[in-house]
Structure 1
Amino acid sequence: MPRERSLRRRATIHDVAAEAGISRGTVSRVLNNEPYVSEGARRAVEAAVAKVGYVRNSAARNLVTQKSRAVALIVHEPHSLVLDDPNIGNILIGTNAVLSEADHQMVTLIVDSQRDSDRVVEYLRGGFVDGAIILSARTGDSISEAIAELRLPASFVGHPPDAPDIPYIGIDNRAAAESIVTRLVETGRRRIGMLATGLDRDSGQDRLAGFRAALGDRFDGDLVVRHPFYSYGAGVEGMTELLERAPDVDGVFAASDAVAAGAMDVLHRRGIRIPEDIGIVGFDDSSWALRCVPPLSTVRQPAETLGRRAAEQVLSQLAGVAATEPGILLSTEIVWRDSA
């Protein structure tokens, strides 16, 4: 026996007006929270909305206003790293908090391949978001170029050297790296290597530059091991290679806490004492730093605040307020623990 399936008709603003016994215009003013509506009318509309099950059709409203009230958070990282990196999570939390307070939706777009880049560019061209925040953009990023072409309100977290003229929020990675490596040198280390990651973006390049500046004439390029990603696996592979190149290394600067954690596990497995035999420092002061044994000396960067400020930059542009300065650098601090 065939079964009939009926779909419930979506309640409209006309249904609300009929139930409340007032005009459609008054209902619209109540729903849009406009002034000059009596308290009695407001209560009647609210009761009618609840009774007929009216839900505002945001898509239809957006067609009229030409606004989506959505902002894209574009993350240029492998999927596995997005889930594993506390900094990305904290930036996401900060971004979402500000957008939520402003009644905007955050749309997270993860870019893990050229196919992803092409898809995101087409998505942005489709007008599905009003603005964008770009995290971990690489040199020669086609998404950044598309955003500039579209004149989409946007903000970088970080600042690629070839970036279009788009506002950014970041930290002074070079100065922070130089400060913590200088302190590592002051502990008496003589052969200091670096596990350098993320060199296709400004943060990785600047941290390597800071490492080099801190060492000066003592810098040895053979003691720099490179890897694409800020990941635990990069620390494992990098520390293994560094020990093969220089068994007498006695200090290590890891470009992130996750990288440092992987390096420290290699040292523990080989019976190399931290900090007696090798002192090691990281960067971020993420949850990785406190998981390490001993706890990791590192640079604290305000990840959640970076996300908040980036969202504020985009919302200001959406409100028609031009940026007063091209970029903002937030302060960092060294957190010295027992690993060095």
Structure 2
Amino acid sequence: MASDSTRPRQATIHDVAAAAGLSRGTVSRVINGEPYVSPAAKAAVESAIIEVGYVPNTAARNLKTRRSGAVALIVHEPHSLFLEDPNIGAIVLGTNSVLSDADYQLVTLVVDSNRDSERVADYLRGGFVDGVIIISARAQDPIGRAATGMKIPAVFVGHPPGLADIVYVGIDNVSAARTITERLLATGRKRVGMIASALDRDSGQDRLAGFREALGERFDPDLVVEYPFYSYDSGLAGMRELLARDPGIDGVFAASDAIAAAAIDVLRAHGKAVPQEVGVVGFDDSAWALRSQPQLSTVHQPAMTLGQEAARLVLQQIAGDEIDTAGVILQTEITWRESA
């Protein structure tokens, strides 16, 4: 290991000024992106930075501006589901694209346990990020309450139950679920069940509500099974349970594409043809929808745009702009394929 005497000296702003032949003040204005610097001076400073290998002291700048230059993206899902769910990936990419354009760093944090919740809440209190975007927040969510209690700029993807007057971006899950269930019924299905998930958050509750509205008096609570996550494993267990309750079931609304894809696999294993004997529809229009055989009829939700809008809203708050807490609702549409 190199000693302090042998370790290469880090270039300073004085070195940049000397190499550029300009004052330290001019160099500082260029580095901090301030106005009133000539194009020639800007070019000279940029060339000198490369020449001397100068790296800005971000920590010192953050102390001066009281900004970290980072935004946290908090995902409330098990680690395995974080990797499995294409929607989460699309939201992350959308968020990062907007933050990157604004020269902000995205910090992704996965909450998989109560211990994670406590750790992440402490992290937010430490001032390491300027804002936070929260995905999949649950009812009585400690992270959401911590963020709103600290008055840190925060945006929720979805509207968690129990939190009022928050900034959020989402979709109309009730309307979307109702519409695709009605279309499934229009194919002549008589015994339609649902594999419901995530009933501790708004998306799961609203998709079940939309399904129930579509069925009206035909709604049978015995044909609804509930599981905690939008996962393939939930679909496997849920479809087996539905078949055990009613072997003559001829239609299934799955609360996510991963669940729907698993349901089709179970139906095939039980010798039931999709869609000839059982029609199946999902929700998300994710990679699962195209992976499934047959491909899924599903609700297309704009996952990447959700991330982009969330990032824009948190940046507006960081800048001090006033934000309407009525929420931003993005449009969905039905993508109809062979599974129904």
Instruction: Give the TM bin, normalised by the shorter chain.
Output: over 0.9
Q: Which residue of 2 aligns with 1:271?
A: 271
C-alpha contact (below 8 Å) 1:148/1:164 kept by paired residues = no
Quote the Cα distance in structure 1 between the aligned partners of 2:34 and 2:325: 35
Matched, 1:282 2:269: no
C-alpha contact (below 8 Å) 1:145/1:164 kept by paired residues = no
Quote the Cα distance in structure 1 between the aligned partners of 2:205 and 2:335: 22
C-alpha contact (below 8 Å) 2:78/2:111 kept by paired residues = yes
Q: Which residue of 2 aligns with 1:255?
A: 255
Matched residue SS, 1:129: coil
- Segments of structure 2 that go 5 or more residues without pairing to the other structure are none
C-alpha contact (below 8 Å) 1:197/1:230 kept by paired residues = yes
C-alpha contact (below 8 Å) 1:134/1:157 kept by paired residues = yes
What is the CA RMSD across the aligned residues, in angstroms? 1.5
Q: Which residue of 2 aligns with 1:123?
A: 123
Matched, 1:226 2:226: yes
Q: Which residue of 1 aligns with 2:61?
A: 61
Equivalent runs, 1:60-99 vs 2, <5 Å: 60-99=60-99
Show CA shifts across 1:277-324 (max 9, x none).
111100011111111111111111111111111111111111111113
Quote the Cα distance in structure 2 between the aligned partners of 1:243 and 1:320: 54
- Segments of structure 1 that go 5 or more residues without pairing to the other structure are none
TM-score (norm 2): 0.96
Aligned pair in 2 of structure 1 residues 3, 151: CA closer, same or farther (>3 Å)?
closer
Q: Which residue of 1 aligns with 2:143?
A: 143
Q: Which residue of 2 aligns with 1:133?
A: 133
Matched residue SS, 1:334: strand
Q: Which residue of 2 aligns with 1:331?
A: 331
Query: By how many angstroms is 1:337 displaced?
Result: 1.1
Q: Which residue of 2 aligns with 1:49?
A: 49
Quote the Cα distance in structure 2 between the aligned partners of 1:19 and 1:3: 27
C-alpha contact (below 8 Å) 1:70/1:130 kept by paired residues = yes
Show CA shifts across 1:248-298 (max 9, x none).
111100000000001111111121100111111000111111111111111
Quote the Cα distance in structure 2 between the aligned partners of 1:298 and 1:38: 55
C-alpha contact (below 8 Å) 2:167/2:324 kept by paired residues = no
Quote the Cα distance in structure 2 between the aligned partners of 1:51 and 1:123: 37
Q: How many residues are treated as equivalent by the alignment?
A: 339
C-alpha contact (below 8 Å) 1:197/1:255 kept by paired residues = yes
Quote the Cα distance in structure 1 between the aligned partners of 2:72 and 2:164: 18
C-alpha contact (below 8 Å) 1:274/1:294 kept by paired residues = yes
Equivalent residue letter for 1:287: A
Quote the Cα distance in structure 2 between the aligned partners of 1:3 and 1:321: 48
Equivalent residue letter for 2:265: D
C-alpha contact (below 8 Å) 1:148/1:165 kept by paired residues = no
Identity %: 64
Equivalent residue letter for 2:209: A
Q: Which residue of 2 aligns with 1:16?
A: 16
Query: By how many angstroms is 1:35 displaced?
Result: 3.1
Query: By how many angstroms is 1:19 displaced?
Result: 2.8
Show CA shifts across 1:16-42 (max 9, x none).
123333221111122223333344433
* Higher mean displacement: 35-44 or 83-92: 35-44
Show CA shifts across 1:83-140 (max 9, x none).
1111101111111111111111111010000011000000000000000111000000
Quote the Cα distance in structure 2 between the aligned partners of 1:297 and 1:3: 62
Quote the Cα distance in structure 2 between the aligned partners of 1:158 and 1:40: 48
Quote the Cα distance in structure 1 between the aligned partners of 2:26 and 2:320: 30
Query: By how many angstroms is 1:47 displaced?
Result: 2.9
Equivalent residue letter for 2:214: A
Query: By how many angstroms is 1:156 displaced?
Result: 0.6
Quote the Cα distance in structure 2 between the aligned partners of 1:325 and 1:127: 24
